[in-house]
Amino acid sequence: MPNTSYSVLFMRDDADVKTFRVSPRRLKLLLWISLALSVIILIALIVGLRSFIGYRSVLGERRDLEVRLAEAQVNLERLGNLDKIQNSATPPGKNGAKQTSPAEAAPKAAGRAFHKVDAGTITVENFRAQIQGAAMNATFDLNNRAQGSASGDIHLFLLRNDGSLTELAPSTSSDLTYQIQRFKRISASARVPEGLPRREALGLRVEIKNSDGEVILGETYALGN
C-alpha cells in the first residue's frame, strides 16, 4: 500500500500524547543507518584495542631495549678497562729475579690475570659467575680429559679495575675441591671484599690445581650481570 505508515506514540503521565508517523522506507533507512553506525563503532573498538595492544607491546620492547643498551654500555666499559689493563701488563723477565716496586705490582698482577694455563687434562665449560649483594656465585662444568681419576682444588680470584687479583674464600671449602672420573658440576659461593663497588669488579680468574699443587688450568672469565 503506497500510503502505509507506522505511528509511534510517546506517552507521559504529565503531558499530552505525541504521535510520529514514519513511512516504511524511512524506517528501513533508519534501521540501516543504525546498523551501519553499530558496525563502524565495532570496527573502531577493534582497531582501538589492537592499537592499544600494539602500543603496550612496543613500549615493552622499548624498555627491554633500554635495559639491554644499558647492559651493553656497562660491558663495553668493562671491556675497555680490561683492554687497558691487558695492554699495560708486562711479561716477567727471563731470570725472574728483578725487584719490582709497588707501582709495578698492578701490571704484573694483570699479567697473571691474563696468563692462560692449560695442561690439557681438565677443561671448564658452561661457566657463569655473577655478584649478588655481598656474594660471588660461580657455576661451571669440570671435565676430566686425562686417563683415570683426577683430584685437587680450585681457587677463585676477583679481578679489579686496577688489574689486581684478590683471592676469594668459599663459603664452604668442599665446594672448591674435586675428585672425578669424567665430569663434575661445580657450584660455589664466596664473599667479595667488603665495600667493593660492583663496577670495580671486572672478572673472575679460575685456577685449578691437581693433587700435587700444580696449576693445570688457569683462565680469567667475564662476570655476568
Strands 201-210 and 183-191: unpaired
Which portions of the chain are predicted below pLDDT 50? 1, 90, 92-105
CATH number at residue 148: 2.60.40.770
Clarify whether residues 76 and 121 are in a common domain.
no
Calpha distance 111→89 (Å, rounded): 5
Residues in a beta bridge with 140: 186
Cβ-in-10-Å burial (0-12, 13-18, 19+) of 156 comes to buried
pLDDT of residue 156: 92
Calpha distance 155→170 (Å, rounded): 9
Clarify whether residues 126 and 31 are in a common domain.
no
* Domain end point (choices 38, 72, 88): 88
Clarify whether residues 148 and 217 are in a common domain.
yes
Number of domains in the chain: 2
Let me know if residue 100 belongs to a domain: no
Calpha distance 122→118 (Å, rounded): 8
DSSP assignment, residue 199? G
Let me know if residue 95 belongs to a domain: no
Let me know if residue 43 belongs to a domain: yes
pLDDT of residue 154: 93
pLDDT of residue 97: 40
Calpha distance 186→154 (Å, rounded): 10
* Domain end point (choices 49, 72, 88): 88
pLDDT of residue 82: 62
Let me know if residue 107 belongs to a domain: no
Structural domain boundaries enclosing 161: 116-222
Let me know if residue 216 belongs to a domain: yes
pLDDT of residue 31: 87
